[in-house]
Structure 1
Amino acid sequence: MKAVTWHGKRDVRVDTVPDPIIKESTDVIVRVTSTGICGSDLHLYELFGPFLDEGDILGHEPMGVVQEVGSGVTAVKPGDRVVVPFNISCGTCFMCGQGLQSQCETTQVRETGMGASLFGYTKLYGQVPGGQAEYLRVPFGNTLPIKVPDGPPDDRFVYLSDVLPTAWQAVEYAGIPAGGSVAVLGLGPIGEMSARVALHRGAGQVIGVDLVAERLARARDRGVHTLDLREHPNDMAEVIRDATGGRGPDAVIDAVGMEAHGAPAARIAQGVTALLPDPLAANLMRRAGIDRLHALRLAIETVRRGGTISIIGVYGGMLDPLPMMTLFDKQIQLRMGQANVWRWIPEILPLLTDEDPLGTESFATHHLPLDSAPQAYETFQKKQDSMIKVVLQP
């Protein structure tokens, strides 16, 4: 089969690799029909080389049609249409029972001290072959795949793999009071969908911050009050406070993460790390503070006293310096973590109706064949061609 594979920093290719096979009685083989490129994939493209091997298959946002099932699978059958969550959870352990599928005790990667395994996402998370491929082996066939109806186009459902539950959790964790205010830092796919979800769930004021014109325009068209970081490089916190009666928003969602703009020292550190031999670089990334924290610092400065910061952007450093005095003094609540996909599916799935209130069918800006993945990664990383969300179609 064809699959998108990692070969080095900014070097992904479409290779021919062996087809996946049934290994356990509860495995399912899915023929992938749509698979997204996530902003988190760009961390692999740019930074996480020390935790990847050449030829690793990327991707964690797939859906498709069940091709084959193991002898112990009864919940789905060949021909069923399914979405595959990005985190690999058994559905039956203590953590899954708490709605914490991202901490699944069956698939936790204990040798690296991390939570549940992820499809297509480095040795830190199990080095499981990913879904940017023609076929995907999916374990826990009775509990992991999300069965969806035939008929509507893939775009109605494919974001159940990551984007929708991640954005839903970001808003849930933000704890926005009814009619309250939230600032969303970063209007990439997750940030923009978080803004849409916040409006849908009754936020009275949603402020979106970015520096890419196309992202700002898309959010503005959905009713978000947008602010261009380029126009307020040094006083954005004050501008946001002014827009919220001088107090600051009830909540801030950090949808940017480790590669924030405005952090030159950390950017240099990230660049130096990428030049080190893999064992040294991996050790540095796991033990040092190399994240660019500009967005998180802006969130801390901006949120009202007693407010909540919901962090959904990915961070990777262990010793990042944070203004703990400010966090304590302002009595700020922090919530964060990988999305627990199955926790939110019962709430999201009923919204994927003909009315499509979250605008899923028009969410992708680009639909491309799998062979176009290398160019798509480069274009997405450089924020060119008005590319905001890419769906590959094997």
Structure 2
Amino acid sequence: MNDELIQQVHDEWKDRGFPYYPTDENWRNHIYKQLVSFKRDTLVDRRIKVIGQSAHGLNLAWSFMEHAWGIKCGKMRTPIEIWNDEEHLKKGLSKILSGTFFQKKPAHKITESDMRSMLRRYSGTQMVSNFRPTAAAAMYDIFVDKDSPLEGTEAGTVWDPSMGYGGRLLGAIAAGVNYIGTDPCIPTYEGLKQIRDTYGHSHKSYSLLRQGSETYTPPEESLDFVFTSPPYFGWEAYGDEPEQSSIKFKTADVWKEKFLKQTIANAYRGLKTGKYLALNVANTKQYKTFEEDTVALAKEVGFEHADTWWLSLSTQQGGSAVATLDGDVTEKKQKQKYMGEYVRPDIPGRKFEPTFIFKK
């Protein structure tokens, strides 16, 4: 690969600046329309309790969260670190130009989207995750009443204990429910307020609170649904605010008791009797019993483990298919690496994460 060409492409991109998602109003409104007009029921398989995959609206959430590109996951590098390191950035660009691992593109055809994809998936790099707005909206569709003069129902109120980067807030807006969210991160909170102020409905309420979920005491019997993906202890360093759960609670055991269990207890207090808490968690290398611990803690608090829904995740491009000796391409099954008690649906080429459903 021609070093001069790579240097030239590198310098041109550095002059253009980091390839953040667009922030112009027309682009955002176009994406928002796609999100609200998307037929979410096509994602839901009630028979096997699976919510399928669709990325509608995800880029809209990210466009309000530029700081997310620099947030650390464990010891992995961030996309911003790759961008700021000439050697790594040139290596990534040469992979696009030569078609190694990424789709091959000539220099003049490399888009901002190609750059974002490369920066996210560069070796040893990880970007923080966001919840897909369509999957969130589908969960609200399943578990929460909507405004319906025909059925005589009014839109319910949901609490999202760890708001994160706006996927569930956008899902709540798309699904037409009232939303309460908690999150201690200052730049994230600013982005969430912008999402709410731009797209929230005037006839719905969206209460965004900059605090940890363990400190939020909802009024008793006030909530119709509680749903979140809690942080994984010490994995994503969302911010340096003293209220961040993995800064406030120094060990995994203390975090589990004082953050996770307390959040679940707050949900129990706030939920109406007969209503549900849904927690999307998955065992990881860093926390091998997150699923089992979450279920045990919810039961300790008084919940009944009523059901488990499965979120379909993407498998890394190029990572899920394997060629046999005969040249047939088969999909690799999901590795049962950190699976504990809760066995995934057996669908080749798709990876699943549980969302545990607890009833008060």
TM-score range, shorter chain: 0.3 to 0.5
- Choose 1 or 2 for highest CA Rg: 2
Choose between structure 1 and 2: higher helix proportion.
2
